[in-house]
Amino acid sequence: MSRPSEFELIARFFAPLAKAAPGAFGLTDDAAILRPSAGEELVVTADALVEGVHFLRDDPAETVARKALRVNLSDLAAKGAKPLGYLLVLALPDWPGTDWLAAFAKGLAEDQRKYGFVLHGGDTTATPGPLCIAVTAFGTVPAGQMLRRAGARPGDLAFVSGGIGGGGGGVQILKNNRPGIPPEIADELVRRYRLPEPRLALGAKLRGLASAALDVSDGLIADLGHIAEVSGVHIAVEAARVPLVAGLKELWAGEAVAKAVTAGDDYEIAFTAPASARAQILEAARQSATPVTEIGRVEEGEGIALMDASGREIPLPRQGYTHF
């Protein structure tokens, strides 16, 4: 399928996305300049999306582009950062043609407008393998206020934003042709898989309240486990409190909680905070119009466990998605 040369591609589809960034020089140079405001620090994160792993070839090009931005915005949200800009690297196989690229660029433009996020540069190359999209995102936080994985302490409470399991449910439906699920529920699960919602407003309000935070990309249990490991604590998650996305009980029946907390692709914020901050957390949720649920507690020890109503650990075949 024909498409423009590398430099024609950049000029046609991507240079317009960099117009609002003076330091990007219209994508005509080899590097860009970023200028954080006085008293702010730069937060940098990177995520790659690979065809067949993070998105399917049949997914609309616009949603693929928007997801590529949003998984990075989710990282910034969990750090309490405000989006500033991004770099984009595309490794293109033969199949994406001009129409696909135009729709991809349109998706980027939509979310740039939505989140105040501007392209600053990147690279394009050809590949004999699957389509790969790599984004490096930049955000800013007031100096010394970035939320980290380290910091959870015994006595803290564990929270999560939004709903859990939607991403995993959506990809299963896409792969299994919506097995017996009402169309409106199936459509919502697929939407959550294709278009996660980065919780930027909540993340900013968690600065100074959360003791540790990260976004839920590999699964709620796996990601809270990262906080437990880096903080040197044990986290107990109460299964009955986990906010499942609607439709998962119909999709997964009695395995709904276990599958939801290990599926990944949710891009919510999981965080810990002192018990004394509970009321402030709930107020931050209200002000940011983001549901937040208290799901567990931080204890002495190590590791993480999903607990039933009797206080017994629920065995899980895995803690979350692993790349290797």
Give the HSE-up count for residue 235: Cα atoms under 13 Å, Cβ half-sphere. 32
Place of tokens 């100096």: 143
Residue 178: what pLDDT? 63
Asked if 24 and 121 count as a contact pair (C-beta separation under 8 A), the reply is yes
Q: Are residues 68 and 196 in the same domain?
A: no
Q: Alpha-carbon distance 8 to 212, whole Å?
A: 45
Q: Are residues 172 and 225 in the same domain?
A: yes
Q: Are residues 101 and 195 in the same domain?
A: no
Q: Are residues 104 and 173 in the same domain?
A: no
Q: Are residues 114 and 175 in the same domain?
A: no
User: Poorest-confidence range of 19-23, 98-102, 285-289?
Assistant: 19-23
Residue 2: what pLDDT? 63
Give me the number of domains the chain comprises: 2
Q: Alpha-carbon distance 313 to 294, whole Å?
A: 18
Q: Which of the four pLDDT bands, split at 50, 70 and 90, describes residue 324? A: very low
Measured between alpha carbons, how far is residue 312 from residues 179, 239, 260, 302 in Å?
Answer: 32, 10, 19, 16
Q: Is the pLDDT of residue 268 over 90?
A: yes
148 inside domain: no
Mean pLDDT over 261-282 rounds to 97
Dihedral over Cα of 272, 273, 279, 280: its sign: negative
245 inside domain: yes
Q: Are residues 128 and 48 in the same domain?
A: yes
Q: Are residues 200 and 87 in the same domain?
A: no
Query: What is the tens place of the pLDDT at every residue in 216-262?
Result: 999 999 999 999 999 999 999 999 999 999 999 888 988 999 999 99
Q: What share of the chain is helix, strand, coil (3-state, %, to 5)?
A: 40, 25, 35
Mean pLDDT over 268-272 rounds to 98
CATH of the domain at 262: 3.90.650.10
Q: Are residues 246 and 294 in the same domain?
A: yes
Residue 4: what pLDDT? 75
Q: Are residues 112 and 181 in the same domain?
A: no
Q: Are residues 97 and 120 in the same domain?
A: yes
313 inside domain: no
316 inside domain: no
DSSP state of 14: I
In this prediction, what percent of the chain has a pLDDT beyond 90?
78
Residue 8: what pLDDT? 80
Query: What is the tens place of the pLDDT at every residue in 172-213?
Result: 998 886 667 888 889 999 999 999 999 999 999 999 999 999
Q: Are residues 129 and 73 in the same domain?
A: yes
Residue 22: what pLDDT? 80
Q: Where are the beta strands (DSSP E) in the chain?
A: 40-50, 82-92, 118-126, 132-142, 157-161, 212-215, 234-238, 269-273, 292-299, 303-307
- Specify the pTM: 0.93
CATH of the domain at 12: 3.30.1330.10
234 inside domain: yes
Place of tokens 């803690």: 319
Expressed as residue numbers, the domain containing 228 is 157-307
Longest CA pairwise span in the chain (Å): 63
Q: Which of the four pLDDT bands, split at 50, 70 and 90, describes residue 16? A: confident
Mean pLDDT over 133-161 rounds to 97
Asked if 104 and 61 count as a contact pair (C-beta separation under 8 A), the reply is yes
312 inside domain: no
As given in the structure block, the two tokens for residue 297 are: 């507690």
Mean pLDDT over 143-148 rounds to 97
Domain boundary among 142, 176, 191: 142
Q: What is the mean pLDDT of the chain?
A: 93
150 inside domain: no
